[in-house]
Amino acid sequence: MMECDGILFDLDGTLWDSVDGILKTWNQVIENHNWFRPAITRQEQESVMGMQMDDIARKLFPGYPFPQQMEYMDECMELENAYLRVHGGILYPEVEETLKALQEKHKLCIVSNCQKGYIEAFLAAHHLESYFCDHLSFGDTGRTKGENNREIIARNGFRQPVYVGDTQGDRKSALDAGIPFIYAAYGFGSVTDYAAKAETFAALKERPWEEGYAKRNKILPFWRYTALRAGYRLF
């Protein structure tokens, strides 16, 4: 049986929590523009994590023409990237140790719905560049996460990758790319249908997509999950 050769990670709610830095910078932009809306709350911000930036603009800045919404969003993103590159966010426990362990057997990538420069800010702030061989964002391509997953898979020659994320949007992107979804249950979202689940980031060191893990935990092995999703009958 073919083994997993690549792991595609979501960023927010999977590798780190950057909400405090986002709130600080986005609310600064709102203040700079004479409080054109009330300060964004953490609950509001968490509700849009993982969405494409144009959809976030529509949700957080209603009542304004779309070009104006995107002007506000562009200013927010520019200030946010600069702040996070210096100050970073909150890494989930044992992120670097787990990445180091996973890198021994798998190529690691990041695919996110974030703006251009955000992944780079994350990597630079926490000195994690050496663990990832590739990354792609909505800001880089303007395409959906599922489409970006497929591009990452193609240009790295992956034959049996998995996607790790925390939201329904992440799950959909994995299905769109025809690969198993590993649910990061510690993140922002809530997902009920997945190939395997990690209660903590460190739990990924157990490689829940592998056959042995599936047998121990009485879940569907990822290769069977993929085949069923593709419509094949299993005997």
Q: What is the mean pLDDT of residues 82-110?
A: 98
Tell me what the mean pLDDT of segment 141-167 comes to.
Answer: 96
Task: Give the pLDDT band (50/70/90) at residue 209.
Answer: confident
Location of each CATH 3.40.50.1000 domain in the chain: 6-17+92-229
Average pLDDT over residues 12-31: 97
pTM over 0.85: yes
Q: Look over the chain and give the mean of its residue pLDDT values, rounded to a whole number.
A: 91
Section 154-180 average pLDDT = 95
Q: What is the mean pLDDT of residues 15-44?
A: 97
Specify the domain boundaries for CATH 1.10.150 within the chain. 19-87
Q: Please, which pLDDT band fits residue 229 given cuts at 50, 70 and 90?
A: low
Contact 77, 70 (CB under 8 A): no
Residue range 14-25: mean pLDDT, rounded: 97
Domain 6-17+92-229 has CATH 3.40.50.2000: no
Q: Does 233 score more than 50 pLDDT?
A: no
pLDDT at residue 234 above 90? no
What's the pLDDT tens digit per position in 55-64?
Answer: 999 999 999 9
The strand order across the sheet containing 181-184 reads 134-137, 107-112, 6-9, 161-165, 181-184, 196-198
Distance CA 219, CA 230 (A): 18
Q: What residue has token string 């968490």? A: 46
Q: Which of 163, 140, 152 is nearest to 222 (CA)?
A: 163
pLDDT band at 2; cut points 50, 70, 90: low
> What percentage of the chain has pLDDT greater than the value 90?
86
Instruction: Classify each residue of 84-107 as buried b or exposed e, where b means 16 or more C-beta atoms within 10 Å of its C-beta.
Output: bbeebbebbebbeebbebbeeebb
> How much is the pLDDT for 50?
87
Model confidence at 91: pLDDT above 70: yes
Residues constituting the chain: 235
Instruction: Give me the architecture of the 19-87 domain, per CATH.
Output: Orthogonal Bundle (1.10)
**Residue 21 above 50 pLDDT?**
yes
How high is the pLDDT of residue 3?
83
Q: Which has more pLDDT, 101 or 218?
A: 101
Per-residue pLDDT, 224: 53
